[in-house]
Amino acid sequence: MVVREDAIRRADGSDGIYGVVDKPTFALVIPADGDRLHLVEQFRYPVGKRAWEFVQGTAPERADVDPAVLAARELREETGLRAESMVDIGGLDLAPGLTSQQGRVYLATGLTEGPPQREVEEQDMRTAWFTRAEFERMVREGVITDAQTLAAYTLLLLRER
């Protein structure tokens, strides 16, 4: 990532500084099997807690990788799952007041299991299947708080309408 401060001129003509975190495009994957959704859980250092979320990640060393290729790789690395179908269901701006990072959300179906191929940072990762009712209960109870996961689930619900 790159952290920068830009000198800006506001609409009223006054000067200011805008801090920006530049990060590469991320891919987020919703692995779905009927009524079940596959989530990963890992420790998130910036918030100091473990978090359940959908598979997501960026290419190493800011590489420019097609988001669909990145999505398949992240799914395989984090969960060991491989998808027969990977459908792009929308885009997300991570936190547009802070970072330039954007991402694509994919729905993965026709899943087959295999061994995960996790990176060293993911060694504490756990994975599990949850029904949609369990997922929504976890959201209501504040167990799932990851903004990208919540936004991706909204894209899934809108797609299904």
Catalogue the active-site residues.
Answer: 122
Whether the CB-CB separation of 84 and 58 falls below 8 Å is answered with no
- Report CA 130 to chain centroid distance, whole Å: 17
Inter-CA distances, 29 with 50, 159, 161, Å: 19, 15, 19
Task: Work out whether strand 36-44 and strand 82-93 pair parallel, antiparallel, or are unpaired.
Answer: unpaired
Of 31, 108, 27, 100, whose CA–CA distance to 65 is shortest? 27
Inter-CA distances, 23 with 53, 67, 89, 123, 133, Å: 19, 14, 21, 23, 34
Phi-psi region of 101 (alpha: psi -120 to 50; beta: other; left: phi over 0): beta
